[in-house]
């Protein structure tokens, strides 16, 4: 089975049978007789010649027949027929929310790894300055670039578009910027569907969850967005520019800055839920992540979530959920 190829968890014979049953059930629920036919390269795609049709991505015409040029699932939108590749790499679209890691601080720009075939560029002019004032960037700003982001920092930004020097990002809002106190996960990008909301604050657990369209996912302690635009006093201004470094902080201040144990456990629980869903090849949505986290509460240890039994339970639960949703529908 396609979904099981990537599974590298040791399963007992019973677990293997249970998992196979759950995945077969999911497979049968997802295949719609007409549109969702899986095809491989050179397979013929049935089309209605009388009504006319448009050949989309992954299709070609040969000897009067429409054939697939890639492996995937046949999709139909009105008269358009195309093949959606299942294991597709990340294809950036303008407006995508992405999470990435800074790999270089270059003149007036940062180079960022966003799980794409080329590095993305975040220009100094495409992001808010720490003092929050809208103004031209100066030589001093350029010298202070490392105080904003340095190598290996995890950042969140938005895809601005393609320019002559590559893929450009922007971070002109308070929700974008440096991400701290959490985990960066990497999952196949096709498991993250584009939705209206990619930022989630889970108040109950005190964590932030960012589902990057590029397959990089951030789970971390909730950070209150700082409204840099509202600056009342000159004192505030200097505070924001000269943030205390971890070296200049007293031990007491450092202790206050620690993430509480419970929050760290919630971060680990949520991250493990995403790892399990990715292993099973399930689309990662806020609903299914939180459902998996709730299921994990019955386990004594958080690391048990990565064991084979929990993985099988999640697959069975999802098969059950989808079949009951279909009956209701």
Q: pLDDT (tens digit, 9 = 90+) per residue, 102-139? A: 999 999 999 999 999 899 999 999 988 777 777 888 99
Confidence of residue 288 (pLDDT cuts 50, 70, 90): very high
- Mean per-residue pLDDT of the chain: 84
Q: What pLDDT shows up at residue 248?
A: 56
Q: How many residues does the chain have?
A: 329
pTM of the entire structure? 0.77
Which of 231-240, 247-256, 317-326 shows the highest mean pLDDT?
317-326
Q: What pLDDT shows up at residue 1?
A: 39
From residue 139, how far is each of 107, 109, 145 by CA, in Å? 10, 13, 10
Counting Cα atoms < 13 Å in the Cβ hemisphere of 150 gives 4
Q: Where along the chain do its domains lie?
A: 35-87
Q: What is the CATH number of domain 35-87?
A: 2.40.50.100
Nearest residue to 211 (alpha-carbon basis) of 131, 278, 266, 145? 278
- Compute the 3-state secondary structure of the chain and give helix, strand, coil in percent, each to the nearest 5: 35, 25, 40
Q: What pLDDT shows up at residue 244?
A: 46
- How far is Cα 317 from Cα 101, in angstroms, rounded to an integer? 34
Task: Locate 319 and state its tokens.
Answer: 């098969």
The H or E element that residue 270 is part of is helix 261-280
Q: pLDDT (tens digit, 9 = 90+) per residue, 43-90? A: 888 887 777 788 888 888 888 788 888 888 888 888 888 887 776 778
The Cβ of residue 324 has, within 10 Å, a number of other Cβ atoms equal to: 10
User: Can you tell me whether residue 98 is helix, strand or coil?
Assistant: strand
Q: pLDDT (tens digit, 9 = 90+) per residue, 301-312? A: 999 999 999 999
Read off the pLDDT of each residue in 181-206 and give the average, rounded to a whole number: 93
By DSSP bridging, strand 154-163 and strand 182-186 are unpaired
């Amino acid at each position: 089975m396609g979904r099981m190829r990537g599974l590298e968890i040791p399963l007992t014979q019973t677990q293997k049978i249970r998992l196979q049953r759950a995945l077969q059930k999911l497979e049968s629920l997802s295949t719609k007789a007409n549109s969702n036919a899986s095809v491989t390269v050179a397979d013929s795609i049935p089309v209605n010649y009388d009504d006319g049709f448009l050949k989309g991505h992954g299709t070609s015409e040969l000897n009067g027949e429409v054939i697939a040029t890639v492996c995937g699932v046949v999709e139909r939108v009105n008269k358009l027929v195309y093949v959606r590749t299942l294991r597709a790499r990340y294809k950036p679209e303008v407006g995508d929310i992405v999470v990435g890691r800074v790999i270089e601080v270059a003149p007036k720009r940062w180079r960022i790894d966003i799980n794409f075939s080329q590095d993305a560029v975040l220009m100094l002019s495409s992001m808010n300055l720490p003092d929050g004032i809208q103004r031209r960037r100066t030589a001093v700003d350029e010298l202070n670039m490392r105080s904003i982001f340095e190598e290996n920092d995890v950042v969140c930004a938005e895809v601005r578009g393609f320019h002559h020097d590559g893929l450009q990002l922007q971070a002109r809002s308070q929700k974008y910027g440096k991400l701290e106190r959490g985990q960066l996960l990497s999952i196949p990008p096709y498991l993250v569907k584009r939705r209206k909301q990619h930022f989630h604050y889970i108040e109950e657990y005190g964590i932030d969850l960012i589902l990057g369209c590029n397959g990089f996912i951030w789970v971390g302690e909730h950070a209150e967005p700082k409204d840099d635009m509202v600056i009342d006093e000159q004192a505030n201004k200097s505070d924001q520019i000269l943030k205390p470094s971890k070296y200049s902080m007293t031990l007491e201040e450092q202790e206050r800055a620690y993430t509480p144990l419970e929050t760290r456990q919630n971060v680990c629980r949520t991250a493990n839920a995403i790892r399990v869903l990715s292993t099973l090849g399930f689309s990662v949505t806020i609903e299914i992540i939180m459902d998996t986290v709730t299921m994990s509460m019955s386990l004594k240890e958080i690391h048990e979530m990565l064991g084979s039994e929990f993985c099988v339970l999640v697959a069975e639960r999802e098969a059950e959920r989808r079949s009951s949703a279909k009956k209701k529908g």
